[in-house]
Amino acid sequence: MEIKNVLKNRFGGIIIFGAIFLVLSFTIRTVLLITDLNNVDLNLLKFIQIYGYGLFYDLVTISYFIVPFVIYLLIAPDFIFRTKIHRWIAYVFFIITIGILVFSAIGEWFFWEEFNVRYNFIAVDYLVYTHEVIANIRESYPMPLIILGMLLVSSGIFMLVRRRFETTMQCETPFKSRLKVCLILLALPLMAFYSVDKTSAEIEDNTYSNELAHNGIYQIFAAFRNNELDYETFYRNTSDDEAFKKLRKLIKTSGSKFISNDLFDVTRQITYPGDDKKYNVMMITVESLSGSFFKRFGNQDRITPNMDTIAQKSLFFTNFYATGTRTVRGMEALTLSLPPTPGYSIIKRPKNENMFTLGNVLKSKGYATNFIYAGNGYFDNMNYFFGHSGYKIVDRDSFNDDEVTFENAWGVCDEDLFAKAMRVADEDHQLGKPFHSFIMTTSNHRPYTYPEGKIDIPSHTGRKGAVKYTDYAIAKFLREARKHAWYDNTIFVIVADHCASSAGKTSLPVKRYHIPLIVYAPGIIEAKEVNTLASQIDFAPTIMGLLNMDYQSKFFGKDILHDNPDRALIGTYQKIGYLKQDKLTVQLPTKRIESYNVTGDKQYKTELNPELLNESIAYYQAASYLFKNKGFNFVVR
C-alpha cells in the first residue's frame, strides 16, 4: 500500500495524532518565543532555525510516541478492530493521548516560567519525586481551573477530528498492507535512536533560541538516556597520565605535599602553622540565593537587609560562583570539593558511599557532623549520600509535632529549621564535641509560602517575599544563637546552593552563577571583603584553613584565603565550564568547545586559549576518572 493511502486505512489515526502533535508543539513554541522575545535576538535566520529545527525534533518525538500504537494496529485483526466496542475504547485512548499532549504543553509553559528552559533533568526528577512535586503544584497554581481548561481543550480537539477518526476505524486493511506501513513507521524511531540526540540540530549562539528549537517531551527522554555522561566518550580529552600530571600542578599549593608518587593519587598532606582551632562550623545553605539579591551587587529592592548588614561584619567573598544549577550540585561541590562532572550529580549516582567529604574529614577530627534538612531527605537521594559519607541525618522525619509551626510541600519553614539546628548544636555541645552542621533551607522555592506577619511582603506572592523571609529567619537565628554557650566558638556560614535562575543567551551565563559566601564569626575572624575568583569547590579547603587544621586532602579546591584559586568551575548536566583570566572555556558533548570573553555581565565569543582548555580537561577528566575508579573515597591513613 502506498504511503499516500495511509489516511484511508486504520493508520489514519496516527496521521491525525501527528497533526495534532505538530499544531500543539507549534503553539507552545510560539507562546514561549513571545514570552522571552527580548532574549532571543530574533532575525530571519533564527526564526527559520527555531521552527525548522523544532519541526525536526517534533517529528522525531512523534516517531517515538507512536511505537506502541503502530504495533497494536499491526496485530489487531479486522473483525475486532471494526467493532463498536473497540471503536469506543479507541476513542477513550485517543482522548487520553490528546490530554497528555495538552497537559505537557501547559506544563512546559509553567516549567519555562520557572527555569527558562524546556523539560530537562529537573523534569525527570519531578517525575520521580511525585509527592513533593504534586503538593508543590497544588500549592503554587490554581489546579482545578488548569485541569478544567485542559479537559475542555482536549475535548474540543477530539470533537474537531472525531469524524475523520471514525473513518479510520471502519476501514478494512489487509495484514500485508499493515505490515508494510508498520515497517516504515517503526524504522523511523529506530534510525532516530541511533543517529539523533539533542545536539543534532543546535543554534549555537543563543541558548534561548536553542531551547525553543527543541521539543520538551523529547528532552525528557534524552535526560533519561543521559543521566551519566562518560567523559572520554562525549568530551575533549587527553591521556589519563597527561590529565593527572596537569591536575597535580593545578592543585599543588605551598602548604601541601603529595603523599604518594602514584600519578593517580591526588592525596596531599595539608599543613598550617600553629595549633588546630576546633571551632564549630554551622553552614546555612540557602535555596536559590543569587548574588543579585544583595545590595552590594546592585539590588535596590531591600530583600536582604539583614544579610547585607551581616556581610559587612563578615568575611564576604564577592567573586564566588556556584558550580551548577541544582541543589544537589551545590551540595556536591560544598562537601566534596569536586568539579561538576557531566550527567547527574554524584549525590544521585550509585556507588557514592564513603566519599571524601568535609563531613568525613571533620568527623575524623572528632567533630559531630550533621546534615539538617527542612524536608524529606530521600528527595534527590540526599539522605543516602550524606548518611553514607560522614553525616548524621536530621530531616523532616526528625521533627516532633511541637517543633513545626509552618510547612509547605518542600518542608518546614526556615525558622523551624534553624530552631532545630540549635537544639542539635546544644546536644553536641553537651557531649563535649565540636560540631559541623550542614543546614539546607527550602523556603525560597515555589510556592514561596511562609508564616504571615514576619515581613512586609505577604506569603505566596513570589520569590522576593521568600528571600526576605529567609533573610529575616537568618537574622533571628543569629540573635538566638548568641544566647547559647557554643556561640563564641562558632563560625557561621551563609552560602547559596545555586542561583535563582541560570538561563541566559550564552551556553553558561557566568552572571547567573554568581552567589554570596559569607563567613560570620565576630571575635574570631576579622571582617573584610575578599575579591578572589573562586567557586563552591573551594569552600571546604577554605573552612579547613580557617580551622587551621592539618589534614590529608583529596579536595580539588583551594583555600581561597591562602592559595588564591583565581578560577571557577561551573556547569549544567551537559555543559562544563572553566572560568579564568576573564575567559570562559565551555566543553559540550560531541567534543565541541566554545570560548568567551567575560566582561562584567557580558560575554562575547572569542578565540580558544589552548592552555585554558588543557586545564579544564585536567580538572573534569581527572574528577570523572577518580569517581569511576573509587579514587575519591575516604581513607584514614
SS3 per-residue string spanning 125-166 = HHHHCHHHHHHHHHHHCCHHHHHHHHHHHHHHHHHHHHHHHH
Q: Are strands 534-535 and 315-321 parallel, antiparallel or unpaired?
A: parallel
The answer to whether the CB of 546 falls within 8 A of the CB of 277 is yes
- Nearest Cα residue to 287 out of 44, 29, 495: 495
217 compared with 510, residue with greater pLDDT: 510
User: How many whole angstroms separate alpha carbon 17 and alpha carbon 570?
Assistant: 41
Q: Residue 9 above 50 pLDDT?
A: yes
Q: What pLDDT shows up at residue 122?
A: 62
- Nearest Cα residue to 326 out of 462, 445, 421, 464: 445
Q: What are phi and psi of 534, to 5 degrees?
A: -160, 170
User: How many whole angstroms separate alpha carbon 356 and alpha carbon 90?
Assistant: 56
SS3 320: strand
The answer to whether the CB of 463 falls within 8 A of the CB of 500 is yes
Q: Residue 609 above 70 pLDDT?
A: yes
Q: Residue 1 above 50 pLDDT?
A: no
SS3 270: strand
pLDDT digits (tens, 9 = 90+) for 99-131: 888 888 888 887 777 667 777 666 666 665 555
How is residue 110 annotated by DSSP?
H
User: How many whole angstroms separate alpha carbon 150 and alpha carbon 144?
Assistant: 10
Q: Could you tell me how far CA 438 lies from the centroid of its own chain? A: 19
Domain residue ranges of the chain, discontinuous segments joined by +: 3-225, 234-628
Show the cell assigned to 374. Answer: 527542612
SS3 414: helix
Give DSSP secondary structure letters for 68-79. HHHHHHHHS-HH
The answer to whether the CB of 458 falls within 8 A of the CB of 402 is no
Q: Residue 5 above 60 pLDDT?
A: no
Q: Residue 135 above 80 pLDDT?
A: no
User: How many whole angstroms separate alpha carbon 154 and alpha carbon 384?
Assistant: 42
Average pLDDT, integer, range 73-99: 89
User: How many whole angstroms separate alpha carbon 63 and alpha carbon 194?
Assistant: 13
Q: Burial-class residue 421 by CB neighbours within 10 Å (0-12, 13-18, 19+).
A: buried
Helix 327-336 with 539-546: angle, nearest 10 deg: 40
Q: Of 132-136, 313-317, 319-323, which gets the smallest average pLDDT?
A: 132-136
Q: Burial-class residue 238 by CB neighbours within 10 Å (0-12, 13-18, 19+).
A: middle
Residue 110 exposure: Cα atoms within 13 Å on the Cβ side: 18
Show the cell assigned to 488. Answer: 563564641
User: Which pLDDT band holds residue 617 (cuts at 50, 70, 90)?
Assistant: very high
User: Which pLDDT band holds residue 210 (cuts at 50, 70, 90)?
Assistant: confident
CA dihedral 174, 175, 178, 183 (to 10 degrees): -150
The answer to whether the CB of 637 falls within 8 A of the CB of 356 is no
Longest Cα–Cα distance of the chain, Å, equals 89
Q: Which residue has the cell 515497517?
A: 183
The answer to whether the CB of 421 falls within 8 A of the CB of 486 is no
Q: Residue 3 above 50 pLDDT?
A: no
User: Which pLDDT band holds residue 226 (cuts at 50, 70, 90)?
Assistant: low
The answer to whether the CB of 441 falls within 8 A of the CB of 470 is yes
Q: Could you tell me how far CA 97 lies from the centroid of its own chain? A: 29
Instruction: Please provide the average confidence, as pLDDT, over all residues in the chain.
Output: 90
CA angle (497 as vertex; 232, 634 as ends), nearest 5: 55
The answer to whether the CB of 573 falls within 8 A of the CB of 342 is yes
Show the cell assigned to 449. Answer: 509560602
User: How many whole angstroms separate alpha carbon 458 and alpha carbon 469?
Assistant: 10
User: How many whole angstroms separate alpha carbon 285 and alpha carbon 474?
Assistant: 11
Residues above pLDDT 70, as percent of the chain: 93
Q: Of 103-112, 136-145, 177-186, 524-533, which gets the smallest average pLDDT?
A: 136-145
The answer to whether the CB of 213 falls within 8 A of the CB of 116 is no
Q: Residue 555 above 60 pLDDT?
A: yes
Residues above pLDDT 90, as percent of the chain: 66
User: How many whole angstroms separate alpha carbon 610 and alpha carbon 623?
Assistant: 20
User: How many whole angstroms separate alpha carbon 514 and alpha carbon 218?
Assistant: 31
Instruction: Choose the CATH number for 234-628 among 3.40.50.150, 3.40.50.2300, 3.40.720.10, 3.40.50.300.
Output: 3.40.720.10
Q: Which helix (H) or strand (E) holds 438?
A: strand 435-440
Q: Are strands 392-394 and 568-571 parallel, antiparallel or unpaired?
A: unpaired
Q: What pLDDT shows up at residue 2?
A: 45
The answer to whether the CB of 518 falls within 8 A of the CB of 314 is yes
Q: Residue 452 above 70 pLDDT?
A: yes
Q: What pLDDT shows up at residue 228?
A: 61
SS3 530: strand
Helices (H) and strands (E) in the chain, counts: 22, 19
Q: Residue 205 above 90 pLDDT?
A: no
The answer to whether the CB of 239 falls within 8 A of the CB of 254 is no
User: How many whole angstroms separate alpha carbon 133 and alpha carbon 129?
Assistant: 6
Alpha carbon of 513 to those of 322, 329, 332, 570: distances in Å? 5, 12, 15, 7
Q: What pLDDT shows up at residue 612?
A: 98
Q: What are phi and psi of 346, to 5 degrees?
A: -55, -30
SS3 33: helix
Q: What pLDDT shows up at residue 294?
A: 98
